Structure 1
Amino acid sequence: MKDITIGNRRIGSGHPPFIIAEMSGNHNHSLDRALELVGAAARAGAHAFKIQTYTPETMTLQSKQKDFMILDEGGLWTGKSLYELYQEAYTPWEWHEPIFAACRELGMIPFSTPFDETSLEFLETLGVDCYKIASFENIDIPLLKKVAAKGKPMIISTGMASLGEIEQLVEVITEAGCQEYVLLKCTSSYPASPENTNLNTIPYLRDVFHCQVGLSDHTLGVGAAVASVALGSTVIEKHFTLDRKEGGVDSAFSLEPEEFAALVRETDTAWKALGGVAIGPTKAEEKSLQFRRSIYVAKDIKAGEVLTRDNIRVIRPGYGLAPKYYEMLLGKQMRRDLPMGTPLSWDLLL
């Protein structure tokens, strides 16, 4: 599984997980708030900051016919038309440059999700380092070809896609010129339940497609994201807001700054804890031998004296012979005088 590079970050199992803060529509129609989100994400430790590039017109038709209405009972956006949702959520294109500049100044990698050819060409003028493909666009073959032809790394959410559709998108982007890509396990419900997240898909995707894999996480909290690291996630994307109480299109399933900082911290801890296969005491554990048991002289013993249950014991610390030799040692004679507290070793026997 080869590492890939996005901006100044290496992505692979030998590197900490690449953590993306997704703003989406949580700017609430304010550039100042968007820039505040950038600063808060940087302080929380995000490595990248992602937005979405579209207009309502490039996404859908301005219609309230049934097909264009969101009828999901109890959902976050129930009762809105698709056009109304995207009108509320879109990030004005004139905001992109100041948002990207602020990200770069704070050490984050800015990038976006293009939804059509016009947004893609616009993002090219801003010098983005990679592109994200949203779950609902992973079957848009013409768009995939155009994005892949730019030759930049692609991060692709696999929400709702069948195995055949994922196979097709991988074939399309590699033939069109994309050599570095990441597949993200994604559950396209908002929020997603833990029971519907199926993290075991992550190592499956890695093994089938031999690429970097990760998680686009719509669950509440950080538990799923942390667990995904143990299953091979090298990229994690999570929606980000300043304060859920202030609302926003995606605020209900977004992390606040303190929670996002915990995500960065705990995924890094999980990655470090994976390590390699290690059996037996590590260098760091050697001092803990004091708390293991071993065989010690419990009473003063004279040279030639026989070892008995009365004069040797299995006790802490662990610097003598292992307890498994206790029965074997009983009845053996000592080569020399041994004071109480001597750890037994083979060279002390006659």
Structure 2
Amino acid sequence: MGHTFIIAEAGVNHNGSIQLGKELIEGAAKAGADAIKFQTFITDLCLTETAVKADYQIKSTDPDESQFEMVKKLELSPKMHEELIEHCNKNNILFLSTPFDEPSVDLLVNKFNVPLLKIASGEITNAPLLLKMARTGKPILLSTGASSIADVEKALGVLAFGYQSTHMQTPSIEAFERAYSSEEGQKLLQENVTLLHCTSEYPAPFDEVNLNAMKTLQRTFSLPVGYSDHTKGIAIPIAAVAMGAVVIEKHITLDCNLPGPDHRASLELDEFSEMVSSIRQVEASLGQSLKIPSYSELKNKPVIRKSIVASRQINKGETFSSENLTIKRPGDGVSPFYYWEYLGKKANKTYQKNERVFL
């Protein structure tokens, strides 16, 4: 409660280097992130050799290199996973990774027992992968970039089915819909799934972020929400926390000018550290919803408020009027709210100028 779960998204910004990955871990831990997340995939299971690059990937990598070739160089082997996890443990930061194929789910869950799984925006229609992930019983972060409400609902149907079903039950669109509509399915979703609003462009234009859609996801599905950010700078994730995000994910890099598909849309570590610090300040500032004076305000109330005082000497028995009463600091006397009740009344003593007046 009151603590935003901040994920430093290393992604593939290790560039295939275990040393670079370790430096990202150290930087994320020093910045105060709760977790650092990588990506786990087997290229042959995720891409055809004819898959084209996105525009942002073409701009930030060798244009003559195919997407398959680009991604193949960024695979993390099981041994590399072991080293990165060990380094996370040494630096007291949680290791996470996004799986993009079913064997990668098995690796993360069965071999490394990661505490939760992230579904990338591009996998939201990959029902077999979603089902595999839900059947692990692990909590899930579901990223919703490039998705409609209908897309999200269908994905949640698969997850609801996976969480409550045994392997003997036959998956189908109808079965997913039944699971989503069931009381048990909704309960399991609420216990296990957090939705991440996201704009799947790198970097994402500010006028296409639509942070209000995060609140729409929360209202529509009654699930906790977070924000996976691809904008430049730190303003938008900070705003997302103020709007109720319980998870923030942001790409990090050692240098935005490094070669690779995601570096340019990432934060360097000093700026990431500033983001974490700002989010923690926002958390502290949100406080409670009850509007009452805070503890530190109480001592200032009499200093900043005003009282009814004599504007000149008022003799005993003289009638109070707008000519001899005024309102001035400090506020340790009678509140100005009672000003009109004084008018026409008689002074019960002699008051000197600026002396607090009492009936």
Q: TM-score range by the shorter chain?
A: 0.7 to 0.9
Instruction: Find 1:61's aligned residue among 48, 63, 70.
Output: 48
CA-CA distance at 1:105 after TM superposition:
2.4
**Aligned-partner Cα distance in 2 for 1:287–1:257:** 40
- Identify the match of residue 294 of structure 1 among 304, 307, 317: 307
Determine the C-alpha separation between the residues in 1 that align with 2:253 and 2:312. Answer: 69
**TM-score under structure 1 length normalisation:** 0.87
CA contact (8 A) 1:59 1:86 kept: no
Counterpart in 1 of 2:249? 237
Output the CA distance in 1 between the equivalents of 2:91 and 2:55: 39
Q: How does 1:7-22 map to 2 (within 5 A)?
A: 14-22=1-9
Q: Which moved more, 1:314-323 or 1:94-103?
A: 314-323
Q: What is the CA distance between 1:265 and its match in structure 2?
A: 1.3
Q: Aligned pair in 2 of structure 1 residues 80, 71: CA closer, same or farther (>3 Å)?
A: farther
| Pair 188,75 (structure 1): closer, same or farther in 2 beyond 3 Å | farther
The more displaced of 97-106 and 316-325 is 316-325
Which stretch shifts more, 52-61 or 211-220? 52-61
What is the DSSP-based 3-state SS (H/G/I as helix, E as strand, rest coil) of the residue aligned with 1:112? Answer: strand
When normalised by structure 2's length, the TM-score is 0.85
- SS in structure 2 opposite 1:319? coil
Aligned to 2:331: 318
Does 2:60 correspond to 1:48?
no
Cα separation, 2, equivalents of 1:166 and 1:271: 28
Letter in 1 for 2:81: H
Q: 1:147 aligns with which of 130, 133, 153?
A: 133
Unaligned runs of 5+ in 2: 164-187
Percent identity of the aligned residues?
36
Shifted more, 293-302 versus 127-136: the winner is 293-302
The equivalent position to 2:152 in structure 1, one of 156, 166, 169, is 166
Determine helix, strand or coil for the equivalent of 2:267. Answer: coil
Question: Does the C-alpha gap of structure 1 residues 272 and 205 become closer, same or farther in structure 2, counting only changes over 3 Å?
Answer: same
> Which residue type is aligned with residue 168 of structure 1?
K
Deviations 1:45-72 (A, max 9, x none): 0101101001321221234xxxx23263
Deviation at 1:291, TM superposition (A): 2.0
The one of 76, 83, 88 equivalent to 2:60 is 76
Distance in 2 between residues matched to 1:55 and 1:49, nearest whole Å: 20
- Counting only pairs closer than 5 Å after superposition, residues 137-286 of structure 1 correspond to structure 2 as 137-177=123-163, 179-279=191-291, 281-286=293-298
Deviations 1:172-222 (A, max 9, x none): 112211641111011111111111111001111111111111011000111
Between 272-281 and 130-139, the greater mean CA deviation after superposition: 272-281
1:5 is aligned to: none
3-state SS of 1:240 partner = strand
198-207 or 268-277: which moved more? 268-277
Is the CA contact 1:55–1:86 (under 8 Å) kept in the aligned structure 2? no
Which amino acid is the alignment partner of residue 49 of structure 1?
Answer: I
- Return 136-145 or 259-268, whichever deviates more: 259-268
Where in structure 1 are there 5+ consecutive unaligned residues? Answer: 1-13
Alpha-carbon contact 2:60-2:259 (below 8 Å) kept: no
| 1:25 matched to 2:8 | no
Residue 7 of structure 1 corresponds to none
Q: CA RMSD in A?
A: 2.0
Aligned: 1:110 with 2:95 = yes
Report the 3-state secondary structure (helix = DSSP H, G, I; strand = E; otherwise coil) of the residue aligned with 2:319: coil
Q: CA deviation at 1:225?
A: 0.4
- C-alpha distance in structure 2 between counterparts of 1:143 and 1:264, whole Å: 32
The residue identity in structure 2 corresponding to 1:103 is C
Report the count of equivalent residues.
329
Query: Matches of 1:308 and 1:69 in 2, distance apart?
Result: 84
